[in-house]
Amino acid sequence: MSAASKAAAPPATPARADYGLDAPRRIRQMATRGALLILLGFGIWFMNRTSAPGPGAALFAVFGVMGVGYLAAAGVMIWSSRAGKVAVRDRILDSIPWRGDEKVLDVGCGRGLFLIGAAQRISKPAKATGVDIWDAHELTGNSADAVMANARAEGVSDRVKVETGDAKKLPYSASTFDVVTSSLVFHQMRDETERDKAVRELWRVLKPGGHVAVFDVAYTDEYRKVLEKERAELVKQSGFSMLWMVPTTRWFIMRKPA
């Protein structure tokens, strides 16, 4: 096969989409601590199994329970990344009254979880656009190529496009999109002023009558109050959840008055 024909070959389509493992370093830390605690407990019991079997077994039980707790927490975080966040994504998007011809923007799209979910709910020529600062993802495995690979795996690559942009200053005109989403992004901004600016950008590019959906592990009440000052109408909000072992994980959907 010539170099030209190789270059012209279409990108490979993955067998399934991969939306990433969130907080992998923390998961490794929890799993490592859990395993070490169990090994420590076993070592104490083994060294004392003849001279002091009772106390050794008791310490094994204590360290074992602690270790299992860490391993369980790591398991919950893995489940949250692989299945939990997908289920929440679908619950949020299913709460939006779709027509099927919406122009959609997903801010901080990462590997495309919400972007692709939105694309599954619209038809051509409607488009779902994902925007992110890709240089910031070099160490996480997130990239525009990863987004498009996931879009191909989900069969929506013809309805998805990916662009570069900063959530605090989106490169779009006011009132451009019918639906604007953002997930697990704004909590990474340490300064409240920056978070407010990003939330107001979602509102700026949203058309009157459109819907904005935000999902995050912190500050969601803060985001909602910012939008309420802009006269946003609350459509739906979540209750308590424990994704990633974080009790502050919440989401809401608001409508911009027509």
The per-residue DSSP string of 196-247 comes to: HHHHHHHHHHEEEEEEEEEEESS-HHHHHHHHHTTTPEEEEE-----GGG-T
The pLDDT of residue 202: 98
Domains of the chain: total: 2
Same structural domain, 114 and 172: yes
45 and 126 share a domain?
no
Q: Are residues 68 and 186 in the same domain?
A: no
In a domain, 9, yes or no: no
Residue with tokens 């893995």: 78
- Whether residue 87 is contained in a domain is answered as no
Same domain, residue pair 126 and 201? yes
Q: Given this model, what pLDDT does residue 11 score? A: 75
Q: pLDDT at position 1, please?
A: 46
Do 135 and 211 reside in the same domain of the chain?
A: yes
pTM for the whole thing? 0.88
Last residue of a domain, one of 82, 111, 132: 82
| Domain at 179, CATH number | 3.40.50.150
Which pLDDT value is given to residue 141?
Answer: 61
Identify whether 153 is part of a domain: yes
Considering the domain boundaries, does residue 12 fall inside one? no
Per the domain annotation, does 219 fall within a domain?
yes
Q: What is the pLDDT along the chain (258 residues), one digit of tens a residue?
A: 444 445 556 677 888 999 999 989 999 999 999 999 999 999 999 999 999 999 999 999 999 999 999 999 999 999 999 999 999 999 999 999 999 999 999 999 999 999 999 999 999 899 999 999 976 554 456 689 999 999 999 999 999 999 999 999 999 999 999 999 999 999 999 999 999 999 999 999 999 999 999 999 999 999 999 999 999 999 999 987 778 888 899 999 999 999
* 13 belongs to a structural domain: no
How far apart, in Å, are the Cα atoms of 48 and each of 36, 44, 62, 63?
18, 6, 15, 15
Of 36, 61, 82, which marks where a domain is finished?
A: 82
Task: Output the pLDDT for position 137.
Answer: 53
Same domain, 163 and 66: no
* Residue pointed to by tokens 């989900």: 154
Tell me whether residue 127 is in a domain: yes
Res 139: pLDDT: 43
Q: Could you tell me the CA-to-CA distances from 244 to 24, 42, 218, 248, 250 in Å, in that order?
A: 11, 29, 12, 10, 12
Range of the domain at 200: 95-255
What is the per-residue pLDDT for 233?
Answer: 98
